[in-house]
Amino acid sequence: MLNFKTASICFFIECAALSLLVYFFDICLWWFLIPVISYKALIIYGSARIQSNFYVKTICNSTTEEKKIAITFDDGPNSEYTKKALDVLVEYNAPATFFVIGKNIQGKEDLIKQIDAAGHTIGNHTFSHSFLIDFKSKNGFMYELNTTSDMVYAIIKKRMKLFRPPYGVTTPNLASASKALNYDIIGWNIRSLDTTSDSEEKITSRVISQIKPGAVILFHDTSEKTIKVLKQTLNFAAENGFKVVSIEELLRIKAY
Ligand SMILES: [Zn+2]
């Protein structure tokens, strides 16, 4: 598997080889563009694609052949839609994982209690979820994770162990911080795109067409359309013999 370390070693070897060629054979310097552009492209790909395991190991699905799937929500808690999602999940007796943003917890502590009391899992999705979060230092990421962890701990007395990086972007500093704090990084293999697409039908068909044993679905508990898609997804799962299980059961990990 190509990761950051291997890609960096290859880049330096290529540059060293080209330097020798320039020195001995006076080749054109434009040749350096090949390793530079390909290294840059790999960095962008590795950062943006959580499934690539480029900087850090991420768990995105299970390889089980059993018809089990897990549902996850990012960006809550949300006063309106987290509650609605909880109501739908009770109706279908389905567990889910809520990756919460620390700054959204303030004033919604009861909702955190409610999620936990209903048997769902709570994971860390940083404190600020800032658009510029990927430029943070290791300490910056540790602060983001610790602040949210302390907030959740104060409410439910459980120390979160699962972390989902905002936007699914990973960086070397994020990797170091999550390793230092002993988090498991949880990705997904079905991205609903429920925050970018307006069509409930398109989102539903995108999700259910990809459902297979071991799948981890990414939703956001931030809009009415996601609640509708959630219902359709749970109907599809029930009609097709898929059992919705907790992320702990599906991935055989501990959440706290
Ligand atoms: Zn998010």
The per-residue pLDDT for 7 is 86
The pLDDT of residue 42 is 87
- Active site residue: 120, 125, 129, 220, which one? 220
Cα separation of 12 and 122, whole Å?
42
Which fold, 58-251? TIM Barrel (3.20.20)
Query: How many Å lie between the centroid of ligand 1 and the Cα of residue 145?
Result: 14
State yes or no: cis peptide before 77, omega within 30 of 0.
Answer: yes
Is residue 74 annotated as part of the catalytic site, yes or no?
yes
At 37 the pLDDT is 92
The yes-or-no answer on residue 129 being catalytic is no
pTM for the model stands at: 0.91
Asked if 174 and 165 touch (Cβ cutoff 8 Å), the reply is yes
Q: What is the dihedral of CA 249, 252, 253, 255, to 10 degrees?
A: 0
Centroid of ligand 1 to alpha carbon of 218 (angstroms)? 10
Residues of the chain short of pLDDT 70, as ranges, are 1
Tell me how far apart the terminal alpha carbons of the chain are, to the nearest angstrom. Answer: 29
Instruction: Kindly report, residue by residue over 137-158, the tens digit of the pLDDT.
Output: 999 999 999 999 999 999 999 9
CA distances from 184 to 27, 192, 251 (A): 47, 22, 11
Return the pLDDT at 47: 84
Res 107: pLDDT: 95
Strand boundaries in the chain, DSSP class E: 58-59, 68-76, 97-100, 121-124, 162-163, 184-186, 190-191, 216-220, 243-244
Whole-number pLDDT of residue 84: 98
